[in-house]
Structure 1
Amino acid sequence: MTATTLFPAARETPATTARRHPRIVSIAGSDPSGGAGIQADIKSISAHGGYAMAAITALTAQNTRGVQQVHVPPAAFLRAQLDALSADITIDAVKIGMLGSAEVMEAVGGWLAQTRPAAVVLDPVMVATSGDVLMPPEALAALLALLPHTDLVTPNIPELGALLGRPEAGDWAQAVAQGRELAAAHNVRVLVKGGHLPGEACLDALVEADGTVHEFTAPRIHTANTHGTGCSLSSAVATLQAQTGDWVESVRTAKAWLVGALESSAVLEVGAGAGPVNHLHGLWGSAAPALDSFSRLLWNDCAPQRQAIFGLEFIRELAAGTLHRDHFAYYLAQDALYLGAYSRVLARASALAPTEAEQKFWASGAQGCLDVELALHRDWLSRYPIESPQGPVTKHYVDHLQAVAFAGTYGEVVAAVLPCYWLYAEVGRVLHADYLRYDGAHPYGSWLETYADDDFAQATATAIGFLDGAARNGSGAERARMREAFAHSAQYEVDFFDAPHRQLGAPAARP
C-alpha cells in the first residue's frame, strides 16, 4: 500500500525524520529472556538510532529453550496503550510482532486504520525459533485482515506457507513464488526470508506488490544463537525505513547488520538453548577492552581445559616419573612434527604484525621453534627412537592453526597460537615445582628443567600483551573470532597431552 497520514502538516516526511532519531512503536509480546519480542525490538531500534516505544500484546514465560506459558491481556488494554501513544507522540514507524489472539489483531487493525502510520512492518510471529506455536490457528483470518494496513510483511518460510494456506516451500524458487502470490493477493510488500532453507548462502527477497523482486544474499552464519532473529530484523527495517524512505536500502542495511549480530553472538553466552543475537555489536565493538581484560577473559574461558590437563594420565605420570618411555617418545615425535608447522604460523603472525617489535618477536619465535625441533631430534629422540607419523590430534591442531593463519586477521592468529605459549608455561610451572620436590633421580628430570625457562615465561607475557593490544584495536566481531580461535587451540592443547595414551593405550596392553 501507499501509506498517507491523518494530519500531514503535523508529521514529518522520511527526508525530515532522517535528521533526528525516528520514533518507532513496537507492538509485540514480551520475552523475559531478552532475546526476542519487545526486548529484542527495543535493542534493535536503539542500535539503528531510533527512539523505541512499546505496546505489549502478550506476556510470555520463556527462555532460550522454549516458551512455557503465554498470557494475553485484554485487547481493550492494548488499545488503550496505543491510543495513549498516538495522542501524545508523533510515530514515524510501527513494527508489529506477536499478536496473541484475534481480538488483539482486531484492536491493532482498528488503531492502524485510525492513525495510519507512515511505515508499518508486520512480522507474523506464528512459530518461535524453539518450535513453539505462538498463535492459535483460528486467528489466521484476523492476521490476514491486518495486511491492508501494512507496508511490509516479513514471514519466514513456514509462516509464508501458513499465510497462503499451503505447505512450506521446499526451495528458494518456490519460496519466491509464494512471496509473489502473497504480495499480489494483498497488495503488500513481502520480505521472503530463506534462513530455513539449506545451503551456505542465506537468501532474502523483497517482493513488491507488482511482483518485482530484489534479492539479497549473505553467507550463512553457523551459530545456535538465532533466538529473535525475525523480531530483530523486522524492527531494524522499520527503523531504517523511517530514516531512508527506501525499502530496498532499508532491507539491505538491516540484513548486513543482522549478519554482524549473528557473527558476534557468541560473546553474550546467554542460556543453554537458542541464544540471542548481539543487537549492540556495533556499539560494543567500538568499546575496546581496557588493559588486560581481554586476556583475563580468555584465561577464565580456558579454566576447564587447564583443569583437564592436570587430570590427564600423561601429565600425572610425567610428574611422578612413572611415564612409560613409549608414551614419552610418542609425545616427543608428535611435538617435533607440530613445531615445524607452528613455526610457519608464527612467521605468518610476524608478516601480519602492525609494529616492528611484534614482527621481530614472532619471527624470533618461529626460528626458536625450528631450533627446538632440531634439538628434539638430536638430543631426545635419539634416546627414545620411535617411528611415528603425524597423529590425528597433531594433524587437527596443525590444520586449525594453518586455517586461522591463512584466513584470519593478526589478532586471530595471535589468539590461535597463544595457548601453546600460555598453557605450556602453566604446565611447566606446576610440573617443575613437583620435580623440585621429587626424591631421587627423576627419569625425565632434564626435560622438566626446560619448563622452568625464564625466557619462555617472559615470552609468554609478551605474547599476552600483544593479544590484548590486538583486541583493543579490533572490532567486536573480530574479538569474538579471536575468542573462538583461542578456545579451539586450548582444547587441542589438552588433546595433544592426552594423545600418547589414547593412541598407544596402556603399556601392559601392548606387546
Structure 2
Amino acid sequence: MTSMSSSAVYPLPAVIRTHPRVLSIAGSDPSGGAGIQADLKSIAAHGGYGMAAITALTAQNTRGVSGVHVPPVEFLRQQLETVSSDVAIDAVKIGMLGDAAVINEVRTWLVKVRPAVVVLDPVMVATSGDRLLRESAEAALRDLLPMADLITPNLPELAMLLGEPEAEDWPAALDQGKRLAGECGNTVLVKGGHLPGAQCPDALINTSGLLRQDVIEVGGPRVQTRNSHGTGCSLSSALAAVQARTGDWEASLREVKPWLREALMRADDLEVGQGSGPIHHFHHLRESSRPGAFAALLWKEAAVELEAIHGLAFIRDLGSGELPESEFSYYLAQDALYLNGYSRVLARAGALAPTEEEQLFWARGSQQCLDVESVLHRNWLSGREATTQSGPVTKAYVDHLMASSASGSYGVLLAAVLPCYWLYAEVGQQLHADFVQAGSPENHPYADWLRTYADEDFAEATRKAIALTDAAAAAASGRERAAMKEAFVQSCRYETAFFDAPRLHS
C-alpha cells in the first residue's frame, strides 16, 4: 500500500489513467472520415475522452476538398481557453491549422497550458492531393514543431517541412526523419504508407528526446484498400490517447498500429462514399477481450471507493498536516503488518505467473514491500509507541488476499492485489499535488512522506499491474472474469476501510 521510493516528480494520472482526456485541435470534415471527426472516433476507440477545438471548416467528402473556411482566430482562442480553464487535459493532438494566425494562437496557448503530451500531425496536403495549409503559413508551422513531443508527417509533408523532394525509398525516408528530429529536438514518426511494396513500415526516431537518434522500426503488411481517408488523423490522435496511458512511444505505436491495420482491413465494410472512404475506427467493439476493456470496467468500480476515500477525515488531515501523530503512527504500523502479508501474496502471484517477465515483476514487487517496511515504516516508528498487533481491518484485508491467493486463479489474485497499486497511486497523487500546490511547506509534519507519492517507479509498476490484470481477464472465462471483478471490488472496499481505520482506532 506504499510507494517504493522518493524521487522525481512524475505526472502519475496521465500515465495510469484509463480514460485520458484528449483535446484535438484540428479542422472539421463534414463527411466524418478525417479531421476532428476522425480524431474523436480514434480517441474513443482507445478508451479516451475526446474534446475538440475547431481551427477550420472544410467542405469535403471522400472524393476531395471543395472549400476551406478559417473562423476568426479570436474564436479559436475562446475555445481553447474555455476548455482548458475547466478540464484537465492529459494529451493534445494538433492537426489542420490553416494559416499563420491560427498556428501562432495555438503556440501561445501551448506555452501557457503546457500539456503533458502533444502530438502534432502537420496536415499540409489531404490524401486526395488537395492543399490544406496556405504556403504563407509553412514557416509558422516549422516554428511550432519543436513544441510537440511527437511529429507524425506523411512522406510528402516530411519533404515539405525540410524543403526537399519526397523520399522515394525507406532509407531516404528515415534519413529525412532523422534530420527533422535533429532540427526539432523531439520524436518523429516516419510513416511508410506512401511507399510501394507489400510491407508498410513505420519508425520512431529519437524517442529519448536527447538527440541520440535512436530508431525503432515497427513493421507490418500493407493493406490493399482504396478506403484510407483520414488515416493520418486517426493514427496521430490514437497515439495521443494511448501515450497518455502508457508513457512510452514504442509501446503506444505497437498498440495503435495493429488497430489501424485492422481498421483499414475492415474499411470496406462501411461502404461510405464514392471515393476514398473512411477507415473503420470501431471494428473492435464486438471483441469483449479488447485491450483495456476489463481495466475500464474495474475503474468504474474503483471510482466509487476513491470518492469515499477522498472524503475521509484521515486523508484530509494527512494532506493538510493536521493529522494527529498517533493516528499516523497507527496507520504506518498497520501498513507495515499489511505489507508483510502482501509481500507473500505477490510472491504467490509470481509463482502462478505464466511468463518469466511476469514472474520477475511480481517477485520484485514482493521484495520491494519488505524494503518499504524496513526503510520507510521502521524509520518513522523507531522510538515511537506503536501497536504490533493487526487491527481488524488489516487482518480482514490480508485474509481476503490470502483467500484469493489460495483460489489457484492467477487472474483472481491479480484483481485482488490491483487496488493496492491503483487506488493507492491515485490517492497519493492527489495528496502530493495538494502538497505542491500549497508550496511544499517544509514545516509540514509529513512532508517527507508526501514526497514519496511522486515516485516514477511506483507509477510504472502501477501501469504494469493494470496491464497484466487486463491481459489475464482477456484470457479468462466469463465465470473467472466475474470472480476477478468481485475480488477487485472487495479489495477496493478494504482500501477505504484501511484509510479510515486510524480515526476509528483513536
TM-score range, shorter chain: 0.5 to 0.7
Residue of structure 2 aligned with 1:58, choices 53, 56, 59: 56
Q: Does the residue aligned with 1:236 lie in a helix, a strand or coil?
A: helix
**Structure 1 equivalent of residue 229 of structure 2:** 227
Gaps of 5+ in 1: 1-7, 288-511
**Structure 1 equivalent of residue 152 of structure 2:** 154
1:112 paired with 2:83, answer no
Q: Does the residue aligned with 2:196 lie in a helix, a strand or coil?
A: coil
**Structure 1 equivalent of residue 27 of structure 2:** 29
The offset of 1:19, in angstroms, is 3.6
**Structure 2 equivalent of residue 178 of structure 1:** 176
1:250 paired with 2:252, answer yes
**Structure 1 equivalent of residue 403 of structure 2:** none
**Structure 2 equivalent of residue 270 of structure 1:** 272
CA distance in 2, matches of 1:158, 1:63: 21
Residue of structure 2 aligned with 1:87, choices 85, 88, 97: 85
Kindly tell me: are residues 16 and 91 of structure 1, through their superposed partners in 2, closer, same or farther at Cα, counting changes over 3 Å?
closer
Gaps of 5+ in 2: 1-7, 290-506
Residues 145 and 184, structure 2, Cα contact 8 Å, conserved in 1: yes
Residues 190 and 207, structure 1, Cα contact 8 Å, conserved in 2: yes
**Structure 1 equivalent of residue 138 of structure 2:** 140
CA distance in 2, matches of 1:119, 1:260: 25
Residues 17 and 244, structure 2, Cα contact 8 Å, conserved in 1: no
Deviations 1:348-398 (A, max 9, x none): xxxxxxxxxxxxxxxxxxxxxxxxxxxxxxxxxxxxxxxxxxxxxxxxxxx
1:261 corresponds to which letter in structure 2? A
| Structure ID, larger Rg | 1
Q: Does the residue aligned with 1:218 lie in a helix, a strand or coil?
A: coil
Q: Does the residue aligned with 1:206 lie in a helix, a strand or coil?
A: strand
Residue of structure 1 aligned with 2:202, choices 204, 211, 215: 204
CA distance in 2, matches of 1:210, 1:191: 15
1:39 paired with 2:37, answer yes
1:104 corresponds to which letter in structure 2? V
Deviations 1:4-48 (A, max 9, x none): xxxx99xx8256542431100000000000000000000000000
Residues 184 and 210, structure 1, Cα contact 8 Å, conserved in 2: no
**Structure 2 equivalent of residue 131 of structure 1:** 129
CA distance in 2, matches of 1:38, 1:284: 24
The offset of 1:149, in angstroms, is 1.3
The offset of 1:75, in angstroms, is 1.1
1:75 paired with 2:73, answer yes
Residues 42 and 53, structure 1, Cα contact 8 Å, conserved in 2: yes
Kindly tell me: are residues 125 and 115 of structure 1, through their superposed partners in 2, closer, same or farther at Cα, counting changes over 3 Å?
same
Deviations 1:239-259 (A, max 9, x none): 000000001111121111100
CA distance in 1, matches of 2:248, 2:220: 20
The offset of 1:286, in angstroms, is 5.6
CA distance in 1, matches of 2:91, 2:36: 15
CA distance in 2, matches of 1:13, 1:203: 31
CA distance in 2, matches of 1:172, 1:61: 34
CA distance in 2, matches of 1:20, 1:65: 36
**Structure 2 equivalent of residue 166 of structure 1:** 164
Q: Does the residue aligned with 2:250 lie in a helix, a strand or coil?
A: helix
Deviations 1:115-148 (A, max 9, x none): 0000000000000011100001111110011112
Q: Does the residue aligned with 2:180 lie in a helix, a strand or coil?
A: helix
- Give the TM-score of the pair, scaled to structure 2: 0.54
**Structure 2 equivalent of residue 240 of structure 1:** 242
CA distance in 1, matches of 2:168, 2:45: 34
Q: What is the RMSD of the two structures over their aligned residues, measured on CA atoms? A: 1.6
The offset of 1:186, in angstroms, is 1.0
CA distance in 2, matches of 1:15, 1:60: 35
1:167 corresponds to which letter in structure 2? P
Residues 221 and 263, structure 1, Cα contact 8 Å, conserved in 2: yes
Deviations 1:247-305 (A, max 9, x none): 11111211111001001111100000000000000114569xxxxxxxxxxxxxxxxxx
Q: Does the residue aligned with 2:124 lie in a helix, a strand or coil?
A: coil
CA distance in 1, matches of 2:17, 2:134: 41
CA distance in 2, matches of 1:16, 1:230: 24
Residues 189 and 206, structure 1, Cα contact 8 Å, conserved in 2: yes
Question: What percentage of residue pairs aligned between the two structures are identical?
Answer: 61
Q: How does 1:465-476 map to 2 (within 5 A)?
A: none
Q: Does the residue aligned with 1:257 lie in a helix, a strand or coil?
A: helix
Q: Does the residue aligned with 1:202 lie in a helix, a strand or coil?
A: coil
Aligned length in residues: 278
Residue of structure 2 aligned with 1:194, choices 187, 192, 195: 192
2:257 corresponds to which letter in structure 1? K
